[in-house]
């Protein structure tokens, strides 16, 4: 099912089978926050038409909060967390009713799926969510997915639907993830402040320079909302999934994308899909801490696509974690390179950082492993 997408040949996009479409609040509401029925009707028609062509479509939709604000007659979304959650509770039912009615006009069955990060943390829950999603798709149903904002707490919040869509694409073994919002794609700089900025058509690697341009570490020219999209792109690319960022103002762009026309920005996936275990490790498991590595090890991770992390290459340890927890591996500038399962807890790892393998037992009184993180338990992003 999974077909490679060549950076130089977008026509291969037309061959993909399973597609996640993420729509932002701005795509399906008016500037005053009220629901844009015309846009949602068009979205339902186009996605159903693509489904009828033999594609397997999945929708990740924002807009529940905005729908709740509108129904309650509020001037703006509440500032408090309980207020936001109450709005989402009111709005989710409204939004789903609209989707059910408009997709139903074209004979398409849809299903509501609400996810939280906590559903992803436990490997068994992750597998259950994956199996349920796969079953719906096999039935010809279009799942409509949102984060369960009503019960999500900050600690277990995915936080944005860009990253949720990449997580869903990985869960569902999708071939393509399309992020539709109010921006045309990735630019060389913020087009609002730099008129000379150019749209980037194809990205084969999300470099620290690209992240900085979009609002990463040390950037003064952040593009609104682009950083979460780049995080989603990195996750999708690592999972072997193509991702396209495009402007959802005119939803006909969906057909153009599926025909392989050069619209938006295409992020080219790595060749192979992650094995299920590594998929969960990279996108499902809870990140319990951070490990900072030196330039040499960072370079090796980028060039080799993965290697074991020895204590000698570690320069810093942040957070409180135990052996077996998942940690984020960062370079000296704070860019995330990989995620992996650590063999040592935070306290011991802090004591042996910078040490040779032969010094581990001398420092902490035992040595169960030579590696801080073994290559088999590491996913490079």
Q: Calculate mean pLDDT across residues 346-371.
A: 93
Range from 48-52, 186-190, 264-268, 309-313 carrying the lowest mean pLDDT: 186-190
Angle subtended by helix axes 123-138 and 276-283, to nearest 10: 110
Instruction: State the pLDDT at residue 2.
Output: 38
The annotation status of 227 as a binding-site residue, yes or no, is yes
The annotation status of 299 as a binding-site residue, yes or no, is no
The annotation status of 216 as a binding-site residue, yes or no, is no
The annotation status of 12 as a binding-site residue, yes or no, is no
Angle subtended by helix axes 64-72 and 81-104, to nearest 10: 100
The annotation status of 229 as a binding-site residue, yes or no, is yes
Return the CATH number of the domain spanning residue range 9-276: 3.40.1160.10
DSSP string over 125-177: HHHHHHHHHHHHHHTT-EEEEEE-TTT--GGG----HHHHHHHHHHHTT-SEE
Q: Is the pLDDT of residue 162 over 80?
A: yes
The annotation status of 161 as a binding-site residue, yes or no, is yes
Q: Calculate mean pLDDT across residues 154-179.
A: 82
Range from 64-73, 139-148, 255-264 carrying the lowest mean pLDDT: 64-73
The annotation status of 304 as a binding-site residue, yes or no, is no
Parallel, antiparallel or unpaired: strands 56-61 and 142-147 = parallel
The annotation status of 138 as a binding-site residue, yes or no, is no
The annotation status of 25 as a binding-site residue, yes or no, is no
Tell me the torsion sign for CA atoms 269, 275, 281, 285: positive
Instruction: State the pLDDT at residue 190.
Output: 80
The annotation status of 224 as a binding-site residue, yes or no, is yes
Q: Is the pLDDT of residue 212 over 90?
A: no
The annotation status of 331 as a binding-site residue, yes or no, is no
Q: Calculate mean pLDDT across residues 130-153.
A: 84
- The angle subtended at Cα 257 by Cα 210 and Cα 209, nearest 5°, is 5
Distance CA(86)–CA(211), nearest Å, equals 34
The annotation status of 177 as a binding-site residue, yes or no, is no
The annotation status of 328 as a binding-site residue, yes or no, is no
Distance CA(197)–CA(88), nearest Å, equals 37
CATH class as words, domain 287-378 = mainly beta
**Structural domain boundaries in the chain:** 9-276, 287-378
């Amino acid at each position: 099912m999974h077909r490679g997408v060549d950076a130089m040949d977008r026509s291969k996009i037309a061959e993909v089978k399973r597609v996640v479409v993420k729509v932002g609040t701005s795509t399906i509401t008016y500037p005053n926050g009220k629901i844009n029925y015309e846009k949602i009707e068009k979205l339902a028609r186009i996605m159903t038409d693509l489904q009828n062509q033999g594609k397997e479509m999945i929708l990740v939709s924002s807009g529940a909060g905005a729908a709740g604000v509108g129904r309650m007659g509020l001037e703006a979304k509440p500032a408090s967390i309980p207020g936001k959650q109450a709005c989402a509770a009111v709005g989710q039912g409204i939004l789903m009713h609209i989707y059910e009615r408009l997709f139903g006009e074209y004979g398409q069955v849809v299903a509501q799926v609400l996810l939280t990060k906590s559903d992803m943390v436990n490997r068994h829950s992750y597998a259950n969510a994956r199996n349920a999603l796969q079953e719906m798709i096999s039935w010809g149903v279009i799942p409509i997915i949102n984060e369960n904002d009503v019960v999500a707490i900050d600690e277990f919040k995915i936080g944005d639907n860009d990253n949720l869509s990449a997580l869903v694409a990985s869960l569902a073994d999708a071939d393509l993830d399309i992020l539709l919002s109010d921006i045309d794609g990735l630019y060389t700089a913020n087009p609002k402040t730099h008129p000379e900025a150019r749209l980037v058509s194809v990205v084969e690697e999300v470099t620290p320079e690209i992240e900085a341009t979009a609002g990463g570490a040390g950037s003064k020219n952040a593009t609104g909302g682009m950083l979460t999209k780049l995080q989603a792109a990195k996750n999708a690319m690592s999972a072997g999934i193509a991702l396209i960022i495009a402007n959802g103002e005119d939803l006909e762009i969906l057909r153009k994308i599926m025909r392989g026309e050069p619209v938006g920005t295409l992020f080219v996936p790595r060749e192979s899909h992650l094995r299920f275990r590594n998929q969960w490790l990279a996108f499902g498991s809870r990140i319990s801490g951070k490990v900072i590595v030196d330039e040499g090890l960072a370079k090796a991770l980028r060039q080799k696509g993965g290697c074991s992390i020895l204590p000698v290459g570690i320069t810093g340890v942040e957070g409180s974690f135990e052996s077996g927890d998942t940690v984020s591996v960062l370079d000296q500038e704070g860019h995330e390179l990989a995620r992996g399962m650590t063999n040592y807890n935070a306290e011991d790892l802090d004591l042996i950082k910078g040490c040779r393998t032969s010094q581990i037992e001398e420092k902490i009184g035992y040595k169960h492993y030579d590696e801080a993180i073994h290559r088999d338990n590491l996913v490079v992003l």
